[in-house]
A and B are shown apart, each in its own frame.
Chain A
Amino acid sequence: MEQGRIIKVAGPLVVAEGLVESKMYDLVRVGDEGLMGEIIEMRGDRASIQVYEETEGLGPGDPVVSTGAPLSVELGPGMLEQVYDGVQRPLDVLQAQAGAFIARGLSAPALDRERLWAFEPRVKPGDAVAGGDVIGVVQENVVIEHRIMVPPGLAGEIVEVREGEHTVTDVVARLRAADGTVHDLTMMQVWPVRVPRPYREKVSAAEPLVTGTRVIDTFFPVVKGGVACIPGPFGAGKTVTQHQIAKWSNAEIVVFIGCGERGNEMTDVLMEFPELTDPYSGQPLMKRTVLVANTSNMPVAAREASVYTGITMAEYFRDMGYNVVLQADSTSRWAEAMREISGRLEEMPGDEGFPAYLGTRLASFYERAGKVRALGSDGREGSVTVVGSVSPPGGDLSEPVVQNTLRVVKVFWALQDQLAFQRHFPAIDWLTSYSLYLDKVTPFWAERVSPEFRARRDEAMAILQREAELAEIVRLVGVEALSPEERVLMETAKSIREDFLQQNAFRDDDQFSSLAEQDALLRVILLFRDKALEALSRGASLEAIFSAPVRERIARAKYLSAEDLAEFEAIASEIETQLVGGEEEEPASVYAGGER
């Protein structure tokens, strides 16, 4: 425990001298209050320290004590349902200590030291184990079984196992390594946040993460273990979209990082998630959720750390064999935190004042996503999907954070303010967004949704693209210039936009669509188009076609629930009768299937 002295204070950055034995990224305690800080630069015996708490009142001469260990998180039972700040301090404990406002110099362990967990061993003395092997489990809550693993790097023979109620620091097993040393194993691991947790190998990810948001699942899907970004100007819907994914996606664990955003948005999650039921487990959503809340008014250095804190916890659940979704809202605020610290270090600035290493930091963060075969002999697989929002100044996508992010992510959900102004939500622009996972998920779709789903999706996309071209003509010369077939296409596009793409996150009957519903909905929309063209060729008027009463039913079909799939069939046959008229040839066959 080396002690040095402050020689300089500039906002969140403190420079201290006398820390000769300390290392980069060591955690230090600053000032008499012992504020948390981290060494981020060393020159001779001078260490630059970013301080995770407000530095007002610090001055030259104040002590700095190195802990000799890097900034780390505690991993073990008790993380779920918690809200942490950017350096993993449990916010509810801080509130109990200091009240409604966050005071300085508080500290509290991330995992409750008193709480007892029932440890059920999965190994017995004599078993040979290695890093990643599951030595026992704890039923952390009704939903999640917490698997206690041998920490990476350790291997040997189990010499003792202690079943029963234990705290996270109690010894639950002992292991004798090859060199004869005996190691105590507890239910808690400590891991440095800036070091990715090891795994056996990365594996290719091809299973879609079903989010329940139609424009995402059908048009721009992400896979379990994939990386997506969601850039957009303020108020375009980044946070709402991320909350939707946190609520309804079929991941087993959700880690949500509020990185430099609003306090109320965190409160919203805290108040809402315990009340909402996870459609997959039937339990409150909060049971699978971990929150990291370092809001915009909380110290900027802790904001910088928050994404690492979050992703390390995500990796740990991945290592247990879970599919984890990690969301960072917003990565721009993280980048700005880096910029601010870099500015105080007087580093050479790159684009728009961001440090030159912005690109590599972003890339190595997103690189921690992926589907992996975890350490451990059972070959279990887990994944971390990363979804980051980006908040470009003025909505300008050419700025450095967006550009550097686009280099590494595979899915781009571009939010457009014009759509948001028209209250077309989610305001994901279908013309510029993309997903590079489309071909990967197609086999899954073919097997689990329907063989035609991909084709339908592509067709709908083509219609939307054609609409954009035709809209240009309409703008210049009016709708009369279009052929009747083109008018049908325009109406179909409108129906895709309004009846399929638009999805109200605040309507209980709209916020979640299963893939089966999405497929069925797209089917009836395209079926209407087919039958409209048929009717047209038989001489029906456009007016008659467009005013068919069934269109009203199509418009409301998105509010149907998963149990109502048969309804779509009824709509399909109504399309037949209304557009094809008396000559119902084989109405039911037009809409084949429906149960899945």
Chain B
Amino acid sequence: MREYMTTREIVGPLLLIDSVVDVTYGELVELEYPDGTRSLGNVLEVNGSVALVQAFEGTRGSNPAGTKAKFLGRPLELGVSRDMLGRVFDGLGRPIDGGPEIIPEKRLPIHGSPINPTARDFPDDFIQTGISAIDGLNPLVRGQKLPIFSGSGLPHNELAAQIARQSAVLVRSDRPDVVGEKMEGEFAVVFAAMGITFEDAEFFKNEFRTTSAIERAVLFLNLADDPAVERIATPRMALTAAEHLAYECDMHVLVILTDMTYYCEALREVSAARKEVPGRRGYPGYLYTDLATIYERAGRIKGKHGSITQVPILSMPDDDKTHPIPDLTGYITEGQIILDRNLHRRGIYPPVAVLPSLSRLKQKGIGPGKTREDHADLSNQLFGAYARGLQAKELAVILGEAALSETDKAFVAFADAFEDRFIRQGKHEERSVAETLSIGWELAALLPRSELKRIKDEYVEKYLPSQEG
């Protein structure tokens, strides 16, 4: 063991340690402060005999003279095992539920390794979340990374919990016009909390408990009053566990990471302490790359049964989508579900802003066999019509209802009905895709038929409810 008492400087979460020998980049360090406080850390930079160490659990209680640093000769690892299911860990992977220590099947460095692009299998299995705003318009696919962009006070937790509770894969259907049956009990959930409140964490725990999903869940909790720098490790702990469950234990894993904003703030804190040249709004220039090493750990691998689907949650500072955190996330993930304060104020749950939301893998996950033949066309049409309805509404605000043409009025009526019947649904209401699609068709019927340009004629013939009278 190489133990040093040569700390020269402590700046924020960082320690500069002198006269070290054989230290390597990324090496794990055990720190002990004069008051007995301990913290894990890792080496961010090593220059000759000087090591720069970030303390995951903070530097409170440390001082240069009395701090002991032990270099452990290995990177930060997580001992993984199938037995992690049903357990609760802290942000560094230590059990906090009073249960026994995990006997690891193996110890894995939490950074993981990039998936070789040639080994990936393309995600194309539709996940039925039972939520129309998602299934109908922005469907989630197994192996996808689809974040929720939210804001303070918006019901992202409820939505994430509903997704975790209801998600299921459908049996492939051999008829283009019939949706396959739901397969039960498919998903394990790995949940990582970064900087969220105790209350929010309890909400999730209770959700998992009451639905007995807890037996199929692994929780990593770093809460608001836990050390901030620890958050940098937490999502990687979670993903290391998820990779083990997916690729070694053949499970389909849904990973919920919340709140990525606090993760990024921790990264900013370290970067500032290192006096790095800041990028936009003080976030480090490598934020994109850093986030990618988290989000890209979603996917499917050829020849493996399991998969990792990610639903990261982030709160947009000021509801601003161009803020670096949502912006860089959007550049990496395969779409985004955006929550809207206006819809929320009007009492619509889930308040999904349909137009700027997007699932990029949608065309791979829907259609005959997977959902239904008319799904793609119908969802395009609903999008188009809703966009036009909103435009007409804006016009009406300026010029008055009277200025609208008959067609525009039909679109306005459509937009209202769409929000009320399609987007709005209960927190415990689970709609099958077939139900979602029929609501969509009922709404399409509110429009003049000649306006249904984005749907193939044969589907209009087949699925449009016949107008009464």
Q: Which residues of A contact B (CB under 8 A)?
A: 7-11, 15, 54-61, 83, 91-92, 94-95, 98-104, 233-235, 258, 260, 262-264, 266-268, 270-271, 293, 295-298, 300, 333, 336-337, 339-340, 343, 349, 352-353, 391, 393-396, 417, 420-423, 474-480, 498, 506, 552, 555
Contact = CB atoms under 8 A, between A and B. Distances in A.
Contacts of A476: 398
Nearest to A395: B322
B359 to A, nearest CB: 10
Contact of B48 (A8, A11, A94, A102): A8
B22 A59 contact: yes
A296 B291 CA distance: 9
Nearest to B298: A264
Contacts of B361: 264
B405 interface: yes
Given A10-B47, A300-B286, A353-B285, A423 B25 contact: no
Main secondary structure of the interface of B (DSSP, over half): mixed
A533 B360 CA distance: 42
B75 A101 contact: no
24 contacts: A8-B45, A8-B46, A9-B46, A11-B25, A54-B113, A55-B26, A56-B25, A57-B24, A92-B118, A99-B119, A100-B115, A101-B113, A235-B358, A258-B117, A262-B332, A264-B143, A264-B334, A266-B117, A296-B288, A349-B277, A393-B322, A395-B322, A417-B356, A478-B403
A422 B355 contact: yes
B223 to A, nearest CB: 28
B88 to A, nearest CB: 28
Interface stretch (B56-64, B126-134, B159-167, B323-331): B323-331
A267 B141 CA distance: 15
A264 B336 contact: no
Given A7-B48, A8-B46, A8-B47, A479 B22 contact: no
Contacts of B27: 57, 59
A100 B301 contact: yes
Contacts of B94: none
B384 A423 contact: yes
B106 interface: no
Contact of A267 (B75, B117, B380): B117
B276 A55 contact: no
Contacts of A10: 25, 44-45, 47
B313 to A, nearest CB: 17
A233 to B, nearest CB: 8
B117 A57 contact: no
Contacts of B277: 343, 349, 353
B322 A394 contact: yes
A552 B450 contact: yes
Contacts of A343: 276-277, 285-286
A352 B279 contact: yes
Nearest to A55: B25
A258 B332 CA distance: 13
B334 A102 contact: no
A260 B46 contact: no
A260 B403 contact: no
B65 interface: no
Contact of B24 (A9, A83, A423, A498): A9
B119 A100 contact: yes
B403 A479 contact: yes
Given A57-B25, A235-B330, A339 B120 contact: no
A83 B120 CA distance: 13
Interface string B434-451: 000000000000000010
A57 B72 CA distance: 12
A396 B383 CA distance: 26
A95 B288 CA distance: 26
B123 A478 contact: no
A260 B279 CA distance: 18
Contact of B395 (A59, A101, A475, A506): A475
Given A235-B330, A352-B279, A268 B118 contact: no
B317 interface: no
Nearest to A399: B280
Contacts of A480: 403
B147 to A, nearest CB: 11
B292 interface: yes
Nearest to A352: B279
Contacts of A101: 112-116, 119
A297 B293 contact: yes
- Specify which of B25, B297, B335 lies most central, judged by the most chain A CB atoms within 10 Å of its CB: B25
B276 A60 contact: no
B117 A296 contact: no
Q: What 10 A-B pairs have minimum CB-CB distances, sorted nearest first?
A: A394-B322, A296-B292, A59-B24, A56-B26, A297-B296, A100-B119, A234-B330, A101-B113, A9-B25, A266-B117
Interface in B245-267: 247
A221 B24 CA distance: 53
A486 B209 CA distance: 64
Nearest to B376: A506
A260 B289 contact: yes
Given A102-B113, A260-B289, A336-B285, A235 B336 contact: yes
A421 B356 contact: yes
B122 A295 contact: no
**Most B CB atoms within 10 A — which of A83, A267, A271, A297?**
A297
B121 interface: yes
B115 A263 contact: yes
B351 interface: no
A15 B47 CA distance: 9
A7 B26 CA distance: 15
A191 to B, nearest CB: 24
Contacts of B328: 393
Contacts of B453: 498, 555
A334 B380 CA distance: 34
B344 interface: no
Given A333-B288, A352-B279, A479-B403, A263 B395 contact: no
A172 B122 CA distance: 41
Contact of B289 (A264, A300, A395, A477): A300
Interface string B1-25: 0000000000000000000001111
Contacts of A479: 403, 405
Interface string B315-356: 000000111100110111011100000000000000000011
Contacts of A91: 116-118
Nearest to A291: B117
